[in-house]
Copies of this chain bind each other. A is one copy, B any other.
Amino acid sequence: MAANSSDFRYTYFKLWAKGPAAALALQHSGLEWEGAFPEDWKALKPTTPFLELPILETPSGTIGHELAILNYIGQQSQKMAGVDLTEFAISQQLLNQAEDMYQKLSKLKSGLLSGEEADACWTDENEQTHNRNFGFKVYLKLLEAFYKASGGSGGKFTTSGVTVGECKLFSTLHALKLIKDNILADYPELAGFYDRFAGEDATQAILKGEGKMPGTFDQYFKF
């Protein structure tokens, strides 16, 4: 922190995994921050609160856990949290629905789901099962309905369209699109959200490595 004038220093691997959502949120927030990729992860790891990245170095100390960092950013402005309790609740639900999808990607990547079970993640539309078994089509269908129920318009779930929940949702949808580019074809409102968010200047800056991160995040989930 001492070496620069930024209030916040954000560190994550050069991968489109758990890091991009908070980088997007920081870039959209207007906060003074700088981003970094770890130079020596082995040396850095024991200094992190939970032996993992991302971390955000702040005047309140170093914060670990992606969702903790996102919510800390949300505390900085209504634009990032939502303008009222209703928008706050929308943002938080997007955050956690997107995290459920991320956990599914993580299980696939780790080989915890394989064969027919793994295939079903991409094809199954059964909503009657336990939510832990939902495939991506069920998650996306629920988000499509949630957009309508929340009064979304113009590709935004909230007034700003860039609450921390929307940053996390975009990040997760982007991970899915890197795997299957047409995955949103049956979900026009979600596709509209994705395209609108992707077109924002701050988003483009992160996607192109021209924002406060020193480069691009590369595809991590490939199947």
Interface residues of A (CB under 8 A from B): 49-52, 58, 60-61, 63-68, 71-72, 75, 84-86, 88-89, 92-93, 95-97, 103, 106-107, 110, 112-113, 127, 131-132, 134, 138, 142, 146, 149
Q: What is the minimal beta-carbon distance from A146 to any residue of chain B, in angstroms?
A: 6
In contact, A86 and B60 (Cβ under 8 angstroms): yes
In contact, B127 and A51 (Cβ under 8 angstroms): yes
Choose from B49, B72, B131, B149 the contact partner of A88 (Cβ within 8 Å): B72
**Assembly stoichiometry (copies):** 2
Chain A binding surface, main DSSP class: helix
In contact, A89 and B61 (Cβ under 8 angstroms): yes
Q: Which residues of B contact A93 (CB under 8 A)?
A: 49-50, 63-65, 68
A-B contacts, 5 listed (Cβ < 8 Å): A49-B93, A61-B86, A67-B67, A67-B96, A72-B88
